[in-house]
Chains A and B, each alone.
Chain A
C-alpha cells in the first residue's frame, strides 16, 4: 500500500554548507568549462548551459557519502549533469522531470560567487516548499517524491558578471 508520506515525499530537504572550498570549486569549474557546455534554448522551458555526464568520480563518491549519511539510505549515482546559468537564464518547473521512485537529488553549488536571487526552488504541487540560495560550496540534498518539481530561478541581467554553476546529481537506492 502507498502511504501518504510516500505520496507527498520531500522527506529530506537540507543544505550542507562548505562541502567544497573555493579553490577546489574553481578547479572543477575549469574542467567543466574545458569539457564544454551546450546551450539549451527552447525558451518556453529554459535558457542555460548544460554539460551532460561530467567526469568527476572522486567528487561524486564524496557527495554520495554525505547524502547517504544524511538520508540514511544506501545510494548510487543514477544521473549527473552540470548546469551553468548567466544573466537572463532560467530553467522552468515544467521543464523538470517528475520522479515517482523517490530518488535523492543533490545540487552542488560551484558558482564563483554568490548571486542574490538566483535560487533553486523545490515545489510540491506547484508551491515552493524549499528554497536553495546561491551559496558557493554548499550542497542541497532533496528527497524527491512524485509531487515534487524543481526550477532554477531567473538570473537578473542587472548583474552582468553573474554565473551560477550547479552540479545536479540524481541518486537512487542501491
Chain B
C-alpha cells in the first residue's frame, strides 16, 4: 500500500529541508499511495467505525485509538515499517512503531492550537495523511505557529504557515513543546485523514 516514490530518493536533500523548515521541522510528500491502490485503502477505512469526540480544543469524528479491524492494524504496521526507517534517516530521530486513527472533520469541526508533546508519551514525529474526499473541504488546513518561549512558558504565538489537506498528501512534523499547530475549522465539505505519531 505505502510506497516511497521518487520524492523520497534524495534523503540528504530531505534532511536539509527538514532542518530548515519553519516555524519548526516538517516535510510534505504528495502522491504517497499509488493511485490504483487508493480504492483499496478507502475500502479498509469504510469498515472502521468512527465516533464523535468533543473537548474544549477539538470537535471531530475519529476511529478508536486501537483499530477494530485486522486490516487497519495491518495498514498501521506497514505504514510504520515502510516509512519509519526512511524518516529515521531523514530526521535523525530514531522511530519505529506508529499509531494510527482515521479522522473525519465535518462542517464546523476543528482542532485548536496545541503542541502534541507530553513528557510521558514518547511521541517523536507527528503525521497526517489526507485521504480523497467525496466532498473536498474548504478550510481544514493544517496551520503551523511560530512560538517564543521564556523560562519554559510560551510568551508569543504567531501564524507561520498553512498546509492544504490535499488528497494523498502526507505531512510529517517534529513533536516538541514549541510545535504549535491546529486544524482550522472545516467550513464546507468533509476532511478525511489518517493521523498519529511515530515513537522510538
Which residues of A approach B to under 8 Å, CB–CB?
Answer: 41-44, 88, 90, 92-93, 117, 121, 123, 151, 153-154, 156-158
Contacts and interface: CB of A to CB of B under 8 A. Distances in A.
Contact of A158 (B145, B156, B182, B187): B187
A44 B113 contact: yes
Given A43-B113, A43-B180, A92 B108 contact: no
Contacts, number: 43
B85 to A, nearest CB: 33
Contact of B108 (A88, A93, A158): A158
Contacts of B112: 43, 90, 92, 154
B57 interface: yes
A157 B187 contact: yes
A43 B145 contact: yes
Given A42-B156, A44-B157, A158-B108, A153 B56 contact: yes
B200 to A, nearest CB: 25
B-side binding surface: helix, strand, loop or mixed? strand
A156 B108 contact: yes
Given A92-B57, A151-B56, A156-B108, A42 B185 contact: no
B41 interface: no
B154 interface: yes
Given A43-B180, A156-B185, 18 more contacts: A42-B155, A43-B112, A43-B145, A44-B114, A44-B115, A44-B180, A90-B56, A90-B57, A90-B112, A92-B57, A93-B56, A123-B56, A153-B56, A156-B108, A157-B139, A157-B185, A158-B107, A158-B185
22 contacts: A41-B157, A42-B155, A42-B156, A43-B113, A43-B145, A43-B157, A44-B115, A88-B185, A90-B56, A90-B112, A93-B56, A121-B56, A123-B56, A151-B56, A153-B56, A154-B59, A154-B112, A156-B108, A156-B185, A157-B139, A158-B108, A158-B187
